[in-house]
Structure 1
Amino acid sequence: MIKSLLLSAKRYAPEREIVCGNRRYDYRELNARIARLANVLTEAGIGAGDTVAVMDWDSHRYLEAYFAVPMIGAVLHHVNVRLSVDQIGYTMAHAEDRLVLVNDDFLPIVEELADRLPTVESYIQLSDAAEAANTSLKTLGEYEALLASTSTDYLFPDFDENSVATTFYTTGTTGNPKGVYFSHRQLVLHTLNMATTLAAYEGVSLLRSEDVYMPMTPMFHVHAWGVPYVATMLGVKQVYPGRYEPNRLVRLYRDEGVTFSHGVPTVLQMLLNCDEAKDTDLGRWKLLTGGAAPTEGLVRQMVERGIRFYTGYGMSETCPLLSLTHLTPEQAALPPAGQVALRMRTGVPISLVDLRVVDETGCEVPLDDSCVGEVQVRAPWLTQGYFREPEKGAELWQGGWLHTGDVASVDAHGVLQIRDRIKDVIKTGGEWISSLLLESLISRHPAVANVAVVGVPDPRWDERPLALVVPVEGQEIDSGTLKQHLMQYVDNGEINKWAIPQQIRIVDSIPVTSVGKVNKKQIREQLAAQG
């Protein structure tokens, strides 16, 4: 049961802090506040099987909801606040939310959607200001006032560990977002295994009890990769930054003594390029990146700043962790610059993860780091389907393995390397081009800040790669220079000459998804609209 994860911190580290804005309190108070929230929810009529939605930035309130909502037997719906208004409305109606905890910043969205949410009975306001914002919604009151008015005593029940604890929605290339869901048992097993993975192996001491944790992956995105549950179980100091702003994140890192964070590459790139980072020693930071492949340019920039970085792999359907960087003692003894390629790889499957890479015939590919196929997995914490969409769930689990849709290779040591998404592979003249490889090679040019490569239709070759490149601020670069840059990788055999994009466009920015990944779907749509 999720409630069991709360037992250890107040025993071993009761004085350690939860920090968010001007609010600080210890683990004794965290447990008390979780009980108060449970009382508020119960008094509002929320019970077993009901769905409670949260629309908030990364905060202490969100952490409390991570525990209180599922611990009373209800289901916590992590609403992706970065989706379009229509998509947010779809997910809340589809999940049949009954009560919504909503930050004042998102009141306009919910007010617009209220008439389209027939199952929602009431709201609780989450306010960062001294006074709650005015709203036309039917609210029970403001969060802190409601907590202050109730008891710190709550007898959390025992029930079936297979009861659904959380749900959230993942967006695909077509159709509406799909709801995934996870049970108490799955979340506890993922937490225990992730704690072991992040702390027990030599050379991978990412998160231990003496660390200070600050998330940089939204708490609505796959449970912030599951780390808040791990951090709470270990009793580490936790720092919640609210809305992400790069300079503020660096200040919190510096002032609160943060040692461990995680985030997608686009967020880490913004962080490294912000003003506060220029004069701040980042050598204490351990960073876990995932959600998209980090470019070599970003990785080398982290190495130059003294950051110890690791690459993980997973997806919304997998809770999420499946694999993580793991260096042998000999590899760990290499100088930082010599570890770059090793740390960029997708890593070794973690304990309890059964992972295979299969070709189009269903056979496992040779362990030669060259042959590629689709990653398929089995583990105790994978979603068992899509909420109220059994046909899509059956497709996800075809043949008894979860199909990730990712193309990868495996080397002789069992190290996984994601090569691309199946939908992002570029097929040109019958040959296969990895958009991720091209992005990594282009990113090695010192004038490139960000890059995305997609396939565009070609009457002769079926598809050809097209690159969008954002230059480093204050520097100029053109397509001819970048094509010449790529020729060195043709000469050394890393790519073929026909893999060099004929079209390289210099742009101010690259579209990203609601969770900060490069949005290749939107890029392809924009290019198609431009003709």
Structure 2
Amino acid sequence: MTAHVIERTPSAVDQPLLIGTILEAGVRSAPEQEIVYADKMRMTYRQMGERVRRLASALASAGVKPGDTVAVMDWDSHRYLECFFTVPMMGAVLHTINIRLSPEQVLYTINHAQDDVILVNREFLPLLDAIKDRIETVKTFILLDDGEGPESSSIQAHGEYEQLLAAANAEFEFPLLDENTRATTFYTTGTTGLPKGVYFSHRQLVLHTFALRAATSGDGHGRFNQSDIYMPITPMFHVHAWGVPFLATLLGVKQVYPGRYVPEVLLKLLVTERVTFSHCVPTILQMLLASDAVKQVDLSNWKVIIGGSALPKPMAKAALDMGIDVFTGYGMSETGPVLTLSHLQPHMEAWDNERQAEVRSLTGRPVPMVTLRIVDEDLNDLPHDGKSQGEVVVRAPWLTQGYLNDPEQSEDLWRGGWLHTGDIGVITEDGYLKITDRIKDVIKTGGEWVSSLDLEGLVLQHSSVAECAVIGVPDAKWGERPLALVVKKPGAEVTAEEIRELVAGYAEKGVISRYGIPENITFVDSLPRTSVGKLDKKVMRAEHIG
């Protein structure tokens, strides 16, 4: 029997899923709600709606047309939020440039994305000055000026952002687009090779926003509702700031954009603007928890999603003890990003902090519309018993459909019709995913897999350890052995033998294999990180293995 496809009357309109409808919803429901940029700017949703139209008029006057690519180099600001909407609503593509990449990598992404226009904060002009002569396609630069940065530059700007908006027409009419129109592009840096471009359509971003809404609405911890006040502490160039600015705008909540991430500034904004909902990587949370200023601040109304890398249980416990509602979110650049959230189930909310931290530091359960599996090399499902490890593969309506202009790696990403995350994990009987390692980082020793993430979590249990990373080093007898790179807390002392004894104690309890006890422990001043704050084990392997 053939399934029935719906019939459409000639006058019926199949309303496309477009980013503009998110903005319309926020302006309609909360026209006088505030959007704040640090101590520099305040505006209402009504004003943002007008500014988005003015920006579109200004960009059109500068030559931007549907199909063009408009890049942004800025700190987290109201301007970035306006570009999140304006550029895709025009039918152009928004390229969010990772300003933490090396100049050569920035140049590669600009040329590979074929940017036509770059909106650049004055502070990043020296970076562009250094590569300007090798930029291939950019016709126009627009200056974003907070009054900081060099006075002179070889970059000839078409105009300054605020001045262009002030002079622009506020009655721009946006085109009706196909919902599959590409809206955004950005680049993910892996352990090898050049940055890879991922891309997302209007439809994908709207569906991701709706899924986040479904996953975070209602009562209980970790919820995001219209009474909340939102401040991202994940760069807006990184996976659309995890997509939360779109959700915040849909809900019409107060939004606070902090600019450059400085602990004292973040804490001040948290207090003065009464922020209740954020997201960040563990490094940022650790930086805030270690700040002297945090001792004077009440953070008991703050909900924080931690992603980018594993949330260590000790950090989760420390945050909970301060009253912070902390929990894990999981995804990657290719997934747009959110796949799972580690919300507690209702009966768990009465547990003590130690027990809650155990669940909150898991990778989480899939949000609506995500199908997630752990599989062997032949894509066969593995048991959900909390022990059987396999690669995490996924399907969802918002996953990148490939890498930009890279058909070979795109097919490898989607081999077998599932997006391959490159992560190894287990799924518990009650449906929580736990990432145990990256495929490239797992340590094969004595014929067994040892999870570098599990080992790191155990070493971090020591009260004198601030950070830990574990990599595998070649070993003639065992194939590989774990090497633990340890950063001590300021003023604290710990010996390698104490750390080995700590891990050995967990091995005796069966928490980790005895093969996981590291003979090799090296104390370091700091750990190398990628441009988005993740531990950079590629660099560690190069430094300690050669």
**TM-score between the two structures when normalised by the length of structure 2:** 0.95
**Whole-Å Cα distance in 2 between the matches of residues 249 and 435 of structure 1?**
31
**Whole-Å Cα distance in 2 between the matches of residues 133 and 263 of structure 1?**
33
Deviations 1:375-432 (A, max 9, x none): 1111100000000001110111111110110001111222111111000100112111
In structure 1, what is the equivalent of residue 43 of structure 2? 25
Residue 197 (structure 1) aligned with residue 212 (structure 2) = no
Residue 439 (structure 1) aligned with residue 439 (structure 2) = no
- How many Å apart are 1:130 and its aligned residue? 7.8
1:247 touches 1:275 (CA, 8 Å); kept in 2? no
**Whole-Å Cα distance in 1 between the matches of residues 149 and 452 of structure 2?**
49
Identify if the C-alpha distance between structure 1 residues 282 and 4 changes in structure 2 by more than 3 Å, giving closer, same or farther.
same
**Whole-Å Cα distance in 1 between the matches of residues 438 and 221 of structure 2?**
27
1:199 touches 1:205 (CA, 8 Å); kept in 2? no
**Whole-Å Cα distance in 2 between the matches of residues 456 and 182 of structure 1?**
38
In structure 2, what is the equivalent of residue 474 of structure 1? 491
- How many Å apart are 1:352 and its aligned residue? 0.6
In structure 2, what is the equivalent of residue 128 of structure 1? 146
Q: Which of 52, 64, 68 pairs up with 1:46?
A: 64
For 1:125, what is the secondary structure of its paired residue? Answer: strand
Q: Which of 400, 420, 425 pairs up with 1:403?
A: 420
In structure 1, what is the equivalent of residue 396 of structure 2? 379
Deviations 1:445-474 (A, max 9, x none): 111111111111112111111111111111
- How many Å apart are 1:206 and its aligned residue? 2.5
For 1:424, what is the secondary structure of its paired residue? Answer: coil
Equivalent AA in structure 2 for residue 423 of structure 1: K
In structure 2, what is the equivalent of residue 425 of structure 1? 442
Residue 250 (structure 1) aligned with residue 267 (structure 2) = yes
- How many Å apart are 1:204 and its aligned residue? 4.2
2:123 touches 2:150 (CA, 8 Å); kept in 1? no
Unaligned runs of 5+ in 1: none
2:26 touches 2:249 (CA, 8 Å); kept in 1? yes
Residue 102 (structure 1) aligned with residue 120 (structure 2) = yes
In structure 1, what is the equivalent of residue 14 of structure 2? none
For 2:440, what is the secondary structure of its paired residue? Answer: helix
Q: Which of 64, 72, 81 pairs up with 2:99?
A: 81
**Whole-Å Cα distance in 2 between the matches of residues 371 and 147 of structure 1?**
56
Residue 340 (structure 1) aligned with residue 357 (structure 2) = yes
For 2:458, what is the secondary structure of its paired residue? Answer: helix
In structure 2, what is the equivalent of residue 320 of structure 1? 337
Deviations 1:263-310 (A, max 9, x none): 111111111111211221111110100111111221121112111111
Identify if the C-alpha distance between structure 1 residues 274 and 130 changes in structure 2 by more than 3 Å, giving closer, same or farther.
closer
In structure 2, what is the equivalent of residue 7 of structure 1? 24
- How many Å apart are 1:497 and its aligned residue? 2.5
Residue 63 (structure 1) aligned with residue 81 (structure 2) = yes
In structure 1, what is the equivalent of residue 302 of structure 2? 285
Q: Which of 105, 109, 114 pairs up with 1:91?
A: 109
**Whole-Å Cα distance in 2 between the matches of residues 305 and 295 of structure 1?**
16
- How many Å apart are 1:505 and its aligned residue? 1.2
- How many Å apart are 1:63 and its aligned residue? 0.4
For 1:139, what is the secondary structure of its paired residue? Answer: coil
- How many Å apart are 1:42 and its aligned residue? 0.4
Describe how 1:127-206 pairs up with structure 2 within 5 A.
Answer: 127-129=145-147, 133-200=151-218, 202-206=219-223
**Whole-Å Cα distance in 1 between the matches of residues 463 and 117 of structure 2?**
50
In structure 1, what is the equivalent of residue 291 of structure 2? 274
**Whole-Å Cα distance in 1 between the matches of residues 364 and 85 of structure 2?**
30
- How many Å apart are 1:253 and its aligned residue? 0.4
**Whole-Å Cα distance in 1 between the matches of residues 444 and 255 of structure 2?**
45
**Whole-Å Cα distance in 2 between the matches of residues 281 and 500 of structure 1?**
39
Per mean C-alpha deviation after superposition, the further-off stretch among 54-63 and 352-361 is: 352-361
Identify if the C-alpha distance between structure 1 residues 131 and 167 changes in structure 2 by more than 3 Å, giving closer, same or farther.
closer
- How many Å apart are 1:528 and its aligned residue? 2.5
**Whole-Å Cα distance in 2 between the matches of residues 100 and 155 of structure 1?**
23
- How many Å apart are 1:491 and its aligned residue? 2.1
In structure 2, what is the equivalent of residue 351 of structure 1? 368
1:9 touches 1:233 (CA, 8 Å); kept in 2? yes
**Whole-Å Cα distance in 1 between the matches of residues 279 and 541 of structure 2?**
28
Residue 303 (structure 1) aligned with residue 320 (structure 2) = yes
Equivalent AA in structure 2 for residue 453 of structure 1: V
**Whole-Å Cα distance in 2 between the matches of residues 119 and 328 of structure 1?**
51
**Whole-Å Cα distance in 2 between the matches of residues 275 and 128 of structure 1?**
28
Displaced runs of 4+ in structure 1, greater than 3 A?
130-133
Identify if the C-alpha distance between structure 1 residues 506 and 14 changes in structure 2 by more than 3 Å, giving closer, same or farther.
same
CA RMSD, aligned part only?
A: 1.2
For 1:331, what is the secondary structure of its paired residue? Answer: helix
- How many Å apart are 1:205 and its aligned residue? 4.5
**Whole-Å Cα distance in 1 between the matches of residues 287 and 69 of structure 2?**
35
Number of paired residues?
A: 528
In structure 2, what is the equivalent of residue 484 of structure 1? 501
1:132 touches 1:142 (CA, 8 Å); kept in 2? no
- How many Å apart are 1:500 and its aligned residue? 1.1
In structure 2, what is the equivalent of residue 229 of structure 1? 246
Equivalent AA in structure 1 for residue 519 of structure 2: Q
In structure 2, what is the equivalent of residue 111 of structure 1? 129
For 1:8, what is the secondary structure of its paired residue? Answer: helix
Residue 72 (structure 1) aligned with residue 90 (structure 2) = yes
**Whole-Å Cα distance in 2 between the matches of residues 364 and 401 of structure 1?**
13
**Whole-Å Cα distance in 1 between the matches of residues 178 and 277 of structure 2?**
34
Per mean C-alpha deviation after superposition, the further-off stretch among 99-108 and 453-462 is: 453-462
1:125 touches 1:132 (CA, 8 Å); kept in 2? no
- How many Å apart are 1:153 and its aligned residue? 1.3
For 2:402, what is the secondary structure of its paired residue? Answer: coil
Unaligned runs of 5+ in 2: 1-17
1:18 touches 1:25 (CA, 8 Å); kept in 2? yes
**Whole-Å Cα distance in 1 between the matches of residues 311 and 343 of structure 2?**
16
Equivalent AA in structure 1 for residue 94 of structure 2: L
Equivalent AA in structure 1 for residue 348 of structure 2: Q
- How many Å apart are 1:131 and its aligned residue? 9.4
2:187 touches 2:198 (CA, 8 Å); kept in 1? yes
For 2:158, what is the secondary structure of its paired residue? Answer: strand
Identify if the C-alpha distance between structure 1 residues 228 and 387 changes in structure 2 by more than 3 Å, giving closer, same or farther.
same
Deviations 1:238-273 (A, max 9, x none): 110101111211111011100011011111111111
**Whole-Å Cα distance in 1 between the matches of residues 342 and 317 of structure 2?**
16
Q: Which of 518, 524, 536 pairs up with 1:501?
A: 518
**Whole-Å Cα distance in 2 between the matches of residues 128 and 418 of structure 1?**
41
Deviations 1:102-158 (A, max 9, x none): 011110111111111110001001111189832211211111111111122111110
